[in-house]
Structure 1
């Protein structure tokens, strides 16, 4: 990644956080998620994703941060994705072990809503990351908290469906490519 692209992404993120909508339209299905700004119409507003990458000589990961803006409001609300302990996290990071992607995500826009689809590979102890492992896929649906949960964030991704690929030789990327054409059900 060039420094110019990184600087442009950072400038867009800063402008976004400052309340200025520098928007790049994204297709309804986005795979793989490219760095930059992505946007989807959601309910009465816009769901925005800022996708960035961290890379040095030993580490690579993607970071996804979601924001939602109501049509008649200037506020950009952060949209959390639950972590493994079901606590809200405002930036979701992919995971890599060596040259193998262990966890990554895509956005799937469907007629019934927008989903953040996460694939997470787990291998047995003392096995290599390239060995077969279980891949768990969780579909998180973009939702509004509503009056039922007044202490929750106003918007969030909530788990809607989980699918498991046991002892598969497929990569996380291959599973996400397959999931991009599926629905959040069996």
Structure 2
């Protein structure tokens, strides 16, 4: 059995999604009249704010069969995943932008004094590096000194070899400038 509920506001029926159906051969029902099952405790005249309550009551009606969703295909699932990933990325970027804007606003309100010079910053970096280096004993220091001396000797030997190579190159006969292809040699 159905009870008729008269609504003052015709927009309520549209918002509920319960617009009366007009079948062929029958007169169309008034849009302000809504048919609701009698077992629901609904007042005869609804106010605009009560439309949501009626919708909730109709959605929880046990006599009304619930629509079953069709299972999503793999393509639809993949599309949803991609959309979720995009939305997460957009949200993350928005958060970063908000943080930047907040930082800029804070700096404008409370500007930091820029008294640090480059020398002070370098000194602080050196101090940090010294703090990170563990304390060494005299024996360890002597071994590091020996390694430094060995490295210096290697560098000296390489320099001497390079000097010898340069001398040998200078001893080689120079190409004649009057030859036909001398401009190639000059550029080469």
Category of TM-score, reference length = shorter chain: under 0.3
More helix as a share of residues: 2
More strand as a share of residues: 1
TM-score by length of 2: 0.15
